[in-house]
Amino acid sequence: MSRPKKPPYAVDPHNCGCTECILGDYVSLREATDRQIALLLTGQLGNNTGTEFRITVQWSLSGDFRPGPPTVESVLVTADLWDGPTLTWDLTSQLDGPLGRMFDPSATDDR
């Protein structure tokens, strides 16, 4: 995947205050936006966080006799920090790009 041509280029640990974070080349996890977390999860932003992310995806399946593939309803991401709070991002508004394909069962290559 292509890396963004404009900063930030990576997400740093949640309490980071390094020169790159101050200059805006990187962004600390606590200041990362929903969009930046979506880019991190799809590999478009570097991940310097050292943090495990938990992703909760809710799909819905139509009630048709032969339902199509499930539809992604919501994507919530949390990071439970060992030295800080639990951070949460609602990525439901970020599903129009690569993140949406990540959770779309009809977007696989093997059909």
Does residue 8 have a cis peptide bond before it, meaning omega lies within 30 degrees of 0?
yes
**Residue whose CB is less far from Zn ion, 21 or 38:** 21
Q: If binding is defined by CB under 5 A, does position 18 make contact with Zn ion?
A: yes
Q: Calculate the alpha carbon distances from 83 to 2, 15, 21, 87 in Å.
A: 32, 9, 19, 12
**Residue whose CB is less far from Zn ion, 46 or 70:** 46
The residues with which 27 forms a beta bridge, in sequence order, are: 11
Q: If binding is defined by CB under 5 A, does position 12 make contact with Zn ion?
A: yes
The answer to whether 59 and 2 have CB atoms below 8 angstroms apart is no
Q: If binding is defined by CB under 5 A, does position 49 make contact with Zn ion?
A: no
Q: If binding is defined by CB under 5 A, does position 16 make contact with Zn ion?
A: yes
Q: Which of residues 57-96 bind Zn ion (CB under 5 A)?
A: none
Q: Which residues bind Zn ion (CB under 5 A)?
A: 12, 16, 18, 21, 26
